[in-house]
């Protein structure tokens, strides 16, 4: 069996997660692809990579979270990198407070916060055995700015950022914990509500130093960097083409 590092990426059958799986695989890691649904796409992605397996499971379910981690151990006997990418959103105008009811809050926190927590707690005993373990949480610029697809989504990502910092203080020196906060990235999410994002790409392009919106590959490169950055923990890395400085 190969002794190369093993990376588990949740929510990785498409979009940002799939790009992360491809990039880490290209770097020589063995990859565990996961999704709650889209099993066929997940299996196809895993089959296209040199050493990869697919495991279906909903991170918001505690039993499924443990199963996902155990599947990685069963397949490869170790775990070095966990990328908490699985996420959920609802496209609700920020001013529409009534539409952002308690059910929406619970649904988004179940995936974006509790899901990341459950995967992390299941993975930590295995990550502690690795020489240079890393957890990377996929957050959002909306966690720190008054913007986003909905208020519950933005708040859930703010909670994820703080979880990242707290875990970094508790899991070092063996495990580093960081997050990435992407800006607008072209993913299938935005196909679900094209009217919401009509004009957004043009506006971002015109008002961002790098003059374009992000791609899943941009986020994947940042994830790879954080898996290698041996003296970086507790950080939230903004990946938005420089929009946050203008």
- Cβ(135)–Cβ(178) under 8 Å? yes
How far is 109 from 121, CA to CA, in rounded Å?
A: 16
How far is 135 from 37, CA to CA, in rounded Å?
A: 23
Beta strands per DSSP E along 27-167: 30-35, 52-56, 81-84, 133-138
Say if residue 94 is exposed, middle or buried (CB neighbours under 10 Å; 0-12, 13-18, 19+): middle
How far is 232 from 142, CA to CA, in rounded Å?
A: 22
Short-list 125, 39, 146, 48, CA closest to 82: 125
How far is 58 from 68, CA to CA, in rounded Å?
A: 9
Beta strands per DSSP E along 102-226: 133-138, 175-182
Q: Which of 54, 76, 153, 190 is catalytic?
A: 153
76 is an active site residue: no
Catalytic residues, which ones? 153
């Amino acid at each position: 069996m190969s002794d190369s590092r093993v990376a588990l990426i949740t929510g990785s059958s498409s979009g940002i997660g799939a790009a992360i799986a491809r990039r880490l695989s290209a770097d020589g890691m063995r990859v565990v692809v996961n999704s709650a649904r889209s099993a066929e796409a997940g299996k196809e992605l895993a089959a296209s990579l040199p050493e990869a397996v697919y495991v279906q499971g909903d991170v918001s379910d505690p039993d499924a979270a443990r199963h996902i981690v155990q599947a990685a151990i069963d397949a490869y006997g170790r775990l070095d990198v966990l990328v908490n990418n699985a996420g959920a959103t609802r496209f609700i105008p920020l001013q529409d407070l009534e539409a952002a009811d308690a059910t929406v809050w619970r649904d988004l926190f179940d995936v974006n916060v509790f899901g990341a927590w459950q995967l992390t707690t299941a993975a930590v005993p295995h990550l502690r055995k690795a020489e240079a373990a890393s957890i990377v949480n996929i957050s959002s610029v909306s966690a720190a700015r008054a913007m986003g697809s909905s208020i519950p989504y933005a708040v859930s990502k703010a909670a994820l950022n703080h979880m990242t910092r707290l875990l970094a203080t508790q899991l070092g020196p063996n495990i580093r914990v960081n997050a990435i906060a992407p800006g607008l990235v072209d993913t299938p999410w935005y196909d679900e509500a094209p009217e919401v994002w009509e004009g957004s790409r043009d506006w971002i392009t015109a008002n961002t130093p790098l003059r374009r919106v992000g791609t899943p590959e941009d986020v994947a490169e940042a994830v790879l960097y954080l898996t290698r950055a041996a003296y970086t923990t507790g950080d939230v890395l903004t990946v938005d083409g420089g929009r946050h400085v203008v």
